[in-house]
Structure 1
Amino acid sequence: MNWAQSIDPLNNLALSALVAALPVVLIFWLLIRKVKGYIAGLLTMSLAILLTFVVYGMPLKLALLSALHGALYGLFPICWVIIGAVFLFNVTVRSGQFEIIKTFMASITPDRRLQALLIAFSFGAFLEGAAGFGAPVAISAAMLVGLGFNPLYAAGICLIANTAPVAFGSVGTPIIIASRISDIPEMAISQMVGRTLPILSLMVPCYLVVLMAGFKKSMEVLPAIIVSGVSFAFFQWLSSNYMGPMLPDVLAGLASILCMMVLLKYWKPKSIWRFTEEPAQTIDTGVVYSNAQILRAWSPFIIMTAFIIAWGFQPVKDALNAIGILKFDIPGLNNSIIKSDGSPLVIKPFEFNYLSAPGTALLIATLISIPLVGMSYSEGVRTYWSTLKQLKFPIITIVSVVGFAFVANNSGMSITMAVALAGTGVLFPFFSPILGWLGVFLTGSDTSSNALFCKLQATSAETLGVDPVVTVSANASGGVTGKMISPQSIAIGAAAVGLVGKESDLFRFTLKHSFVMLIAICLITCAQAYVVTWIIPEYERVASIDMKNALLTLLCAGLR
């Protein structure tokens, strides 16, 4: 069965784009109307399948196979990572070690504003750089709730804090993919993103504290806000511009944590701020734990960090994949879809890399940690089973949303919306980040968004006479603002703090903040394209380098 995509099935691009956007509008409306996340996801996927069949003419078999492919990807590696992250956290809670962590954090600062900066912003960014795939929100939000945070605020501020590091997440994977798709060197994209996101990184700590406590109370911790934001932004800029895309989040997150801890050793806010509705403080501040006890309590997270960093290196991935990986095509899907340019749509085989997946690193780290925290493996098995039951509805949400994303991509619906935005002429640099935002909202991943739209971003920019590195980087930078409202992220955040079934509350909490940050990135991108063009790094397109190498090879062969 061969079927050709149609980018404009209604012979009116604007109308076709409106129809393609209907599933996006539906899931927005359902979540705003407080419909449970898994129901919203299933309804959205169903509407997408219906539209691809009725309007786009996609055979029902191909639409269902596309949804199946996306559902498998949602289960693995995405849900696999989330299960591992929540399992590790639950082990620390059930073993009693999290009580020690809470006391330790309270000894650094009992102030909720400062705890949010340390855990949601700095520690979350570090986890994003090392793992990604939802682990930062799952772990940091659960930690904040364990410390006594209001669950909605814990998940909400972790989602908002997770914007600044997303483009460099998973050891720079989104930038690496953007480079491969656009033929622009990794270093150039890393530099350009590293000259955009540090501006956001400076804003986010203040934004978080004002959101929690209001402007007046945030000024009481202004030194901490400055130290947290400036240290993170500086090291994010430094590493992305001079070291590449792999380590900005890891280094910036660590630097921000260390700088905050040094500051809090010599400076304290005049008053301790807590949520007005939170329960009475239950931590016994009179209890003093030894360094060995504190180290034991933190050992699951230390081991997790070491494993995640190791799993992020390509030689480790290659070695693990050499031992165990399964690859298979979805029968009847590959080479069955013809793109609008006449070439077949290449659909990569589903990879069940059960050893090299980040979720496996989390599972192994937890299994090693179980005896270290004084828990038996039989109790560990019971904890794992309860974790699966805890996450059953978020798993349905994620599977259905990723299934919808694959249907939208394979049918051409995503490209319809993208081409409509690309037709905005000189205003395209302003709309360029919106493409990235849309891609992350649809797929839940900055990497997937870059794979989907970066070629279109580069081609459209060249047509307008704008440097393509600006719009390609804007896809990654704009995408980070869509992460906080992606249904996948919402499901992860809700599951981590016990708000399953209340995803709509979390969605409405983060929605306006997503738009505020997106508009900021749009304005910055416009300025980079037309006003402060000196900020664009000098680089040479990968394609042109390859052509020169090919010409030199031919010349040398001729001389011989």
Structure 2
Amino acid sequence: MFIQHLAPVADSLALSALVAALPLITVLVLLGAVRMRAHRAGLTGLAVALAVAALAYGMPVGQALSAAVQGAVFGLFPILWIVVNALWVYRMTVRTGHFDVLRRSFSRLSADPRIQALVIAFCFGALLEALAGFGAPVAISAVMLVALGFDPVKAAVVALVANTAPVAFGAMGTPVVTLAQVTGLPLDGLAAVVGRQTPLLALVVPLLLVFLVDGRRGLRETWRPALACGLAFAAVQFAAATYLSAQLADIGAALAGAAALAALPAARRPATEEVRAAVLTGARSTGPDRRDPRRTVLRAYAPYALIVVIFSAAQIPLVRDALAGATRAVDWPFLDVVDAAGTRVGGNVLTLPLLATGGTLVLLAGVPTAAVLGVRARDAVREWAATVHELRRAILTVTAVLALAYVMNLSGAATTIGHAVAAAGAGLALLSPVLGWFGVAVSGSDTSANALFGALQVTAARQSGLPPGLLAAANSSGGVLGKMISPQNLTIACAAVGLAGREGDLLRRVLPWSLALLLVMCLIVVAQSTVVLGWTLP
């Protein structure tokens, strides 16, 4: 049995916290200053975490390695299992040409490029975030905007800023699921708190997008559709996260936002030639008069409709219980850890939701999708294998970061840092979103930031008397605002629109908005920690 110690280094909490932070410092320096590739930085940080666990905390080497393997397994299933299957569905739509059909369908919803930016970057981007995440929404949305005639820089900036409000529930709720796993807090409770934070961003982001597209004129002329889109998105995201399912929060919100735009007459008014000349500075890739047959358009929408139907059916109590029946709890071998109070920690047992997980449900939707799109079984399998190959570095990065997080959590290093950070007292409410923002800014993933800092936030909250669920949720909600400035996302955006090497230009454009929205989130969390907005918490 390994007993976690709070201050193993010279009985000093400050020195112990400094040593405990070495793995995180290593990863951040290698990513931010050295600019090492993410998978190599993650593996190096994992090696440092193992050394700290064994040498500073006295964790047996076998148990430290077992903790790392458990974290890597969790990274593969259910996290990467979701991402691989979601991108597999997307690749099949590209292979069959139905992705272009979908893009043309969006362009016909409105002839106003400012509304098109809302439909594609905010609504469809949110749907892509819900299904895949991990950079896919930014790349795909930016490419679609350029194809409609947007300037590449503007298209990249719009795609990056739009990829904020849905991130906490992205990839079928993976960031929130991971947060619940590493903190031991109930998933439903965490999702409900996040659902009272990120919807407030959804009210602002559409207004910001039309301003980015067309300045004050765009805001003056299209604020009503933008506000209606944001209200519909926020309301459904809140309701789904609170009463239905974290996995469906972004799907429902994205569809609601698009429906609000489609139903509003002001959104369908064509823009003046002056506006189009100012906004659409590129060349359209498709003629404006081309129309696809209704049957082809329906087939293009079918993959996403199938996913929504299957995930909705999975929430029916009878079906949900049947899927949960396949869940297996594994008593993890070579791992026996208790905290300083003698209580066994949750990492001793690994829960595997074999069927009741987003990845399996997306896979179930992908099979009929292949049939609807006319993809032969052999080609569908090849596309799945190609997806895995395309994500090989991302797979290595995520498994390394999750392994690092599990070693830190089970060795007690995260608890030590949490106790040290708790010295900030009530100021933690202001700092907790900043910590999540910083983690996503350097790692490019809200999931990774939650894995790294989730347990730390909970420990610090308990030490300072603040609600643990509030600070854990704030880590994720603040983290979504760091995604637009992460090197990973900036690189993806530049590569998608042909601006390789101009990541610095994009960073300068989006950094002020990232900081401004982060300040708003900090104020929201501070208010929720007091009587001002404390009544909004579940």
Please give the range of the TM-score, normalised by the shorter of the 2 chains.
Answer: 0.7 to 0.9
Range 85-94 or range 347-356, more displaced = 347-356
TM-score, with structure 2 as normaliser: 0.79
Q: Which residue of the partner structure matches residue 28 of structure 2? A: 28
Deviations 1:12-62 (A, max 9, x none): 333333333333233233333432222222222222222222333322222
**Is the counterpart of residue 329 in structure 1 residue 331 in structure 2?**
yes
Contact 2:168 2:176 (C-alpha < 8 Å) held by counterparts: yes
Matches of 1:447 and 1:43 in 2, distance apart? Answer: 19
Change (3 A) 1:494 1:371: farther
> Which amino acid in the other structure matches residue 405 of structure 1?
A
- 3-state DSSP of counterpart to 1:272: helix
- Unaligned runs of 5+ residues in structure 1 are 463-467, 541-560
Change (3 A) 1:269 1:59: farther
- 3-state DSSP of counterpart to 1:481: helix
Q: Which residue of the partner structure matches residue 297 of structure 2? A: 294
Q: Which residue of the partner structure matches residue 267 of structure 1? A: 269
Change (3 A) 1:395 1:237: closer
- 3-state DSSP of counterpart to 1:35: coil
Q: Which residue of the partner structure matches residue 478 of structure 2? A: 481
- 3-state DSSP of counterpart to 1:537: helix
**Is the counterpart of residue 198 in structure 1 residue 199 in structure 2?**
yes
Q: Which residue of the partner structure matches residue 75 of structure 2? A: 74
**Is the counterpart of residue 284 in structure 1 residue 292 in structure 2?**
no
Q: Which residue of the partner structure matches residue 259 of structure 2? A: 258
Contact 1:457 1:475 (C-alpha < 8 Å) held by counterparts: no
Q: Which residue of the partner structure matches residue 519 of structure 2? A: 519
> Which amino acid in the other structure matches residue 299 of structure 1?
A
Matches of 1:424 and 1:344 in 2, distance apart? Answer: 28
Contact 1:182 1:455 (C-alpha < 8 Å) held by counterparts: no
> Which amino acid in the other structure matches residue 142 of structure 1?
I
Q: Which residue of the partner structure matches residue 98 of structure 1? A: 99
Contact 1:329 1:349 (C-alpha < 8 Å) held by counterparts: yes
Query: How far did 1:420 drift?
Result: 1.8
Contact 2:438 2:482 (C-alpha < 8 Å) held by counterparts: no
- 3-state DSSP of counterpart to 1:164: coil
Query: How far did 1:63 drift?
Result: 2.0
Map 1:157-306 → 2, pairs under 5 A: 160-166=161-167, 170=172, 174=176, 195-210=196-211, 221-236=222-237, 243=243, 249-263=250-264, 265-270=267-272, 271-272=275-276, 280-306=283-309
**Is the counterpart of residue 350 in structure 1 residue 350 in structure 2?**
yes
Contact 1:37 1:397 (C-alpha < 8 Å) held by counterparts: yes
Deviations 1:448-480 (A, max 9, x none): 689735754663454xxxxx55x6324313422
Matches of 2:11 and 2:346 in 1, distance apart? Answer: 26
Matches of 1:362 and 1:174 in 2, distance apart? Answer: 18
Query: How far did 1:94 drift?
Result: 0.7
**Is the counterpart of residue 145 in structure 1 residue 181 in structure 2?**
no
Matches of 2:63 and 2:140 in 1, distance apart? Answer: 39
Change (3 A) 1:56 1:506: farther
Q: Which residue of the partner structure matches residue 415 of structure 1? A: 415
Query: How far did 1:362 drift?
Result: 1.6
Query: How far did 1:310 drift?
Result: 2.9
Matches of 2:536 and 2:206 in 1, distance apart? Answer: 31
Matches of 1:307 and 1:427 in 2, distance apart? Answer: 43
Contact 2:169 2:175 (C-alpha < 8 Å) held by counterparts: yes
- Unaligned runs of 5+ residues in structure 2 are none
Query: How far did 1:338 drift?
Result: 2.5
Change (3 A) 1:26 1:203: farther
Equivalent of residue 452 in structure 1, options 451, 455, 461: 455
Change (3 A) 1:348 1:276: farther
Query: How far did 1:181 drift?
Result: 7.4
Q: Which residue of the partner structure matches residue 37 of structure 1? A: 38
Identity across the alignment (%):
29
Query: How far did 1:395 drift?
Result: 1.0
Change (3 A) 1:486 1:101: closer
Matches of 1:312 and 1:153 in 2, distance apart? Answer: 39
Deviations 1:73-130 (A, max 9, x none): 11111111111111111101111112211211121246665344224433444566xx
Deviations 1:311-354 (A, max 9, x none): 355643431343x4554333201x2x221223222325334443
Change (3 A) 1:215 1:31: farther
Contact 1:9 1:16 (C-alpha < 8 Å) held by counterparts: yes
Change (3 A) 1:21 1:148: same
Matches of 1:272 and 1:450 in 2, distance apart? Answer: 45
Change (3 A) 1:186 1:367: closer
Q: Which residue of the partner structure matches residue 543 of structure 1? A: none
> Which amino acid in the other structure matches residue 27 of structure 2?
I
Contact 1:4 1:338 (C-alpha < 8 Å) held by counterparts: yes
> Which amino acid in the other structure matches residue 295 of structure 1?
L
Query: How far did 1:426 drift?
Result: 3.5
- 3-state DSSP of counterpart to 1:350: strand
Q: Which residue of the partner structure matches residue 316 of structure 1? A: 319
Change (3 A) 1:347 1:257: same
Contact 1:394 1:492 (C-alpha < 8 Å) held by counterparts: no
TM-score, with structure 1 as normaliser: 0.77
**Is the counterpart of residue 364 in structure 1 residue 364 in structure 2?**
yes
Change (3 A) 1:57 1:109: farther
> Which amino acid in the other structure matches residue 25 of structure 1?
I
> Which amino acid in the other structure matches residue 90 of structure 2?
F
How many residues are aligned here?
520
Contact 2:68 2:404 (C-alpha < 8 Å) held by counterparts: yes
Change (3 A) 1:479 1:273: farther
Query: How far did 1:212 drift?
Result: 6.3
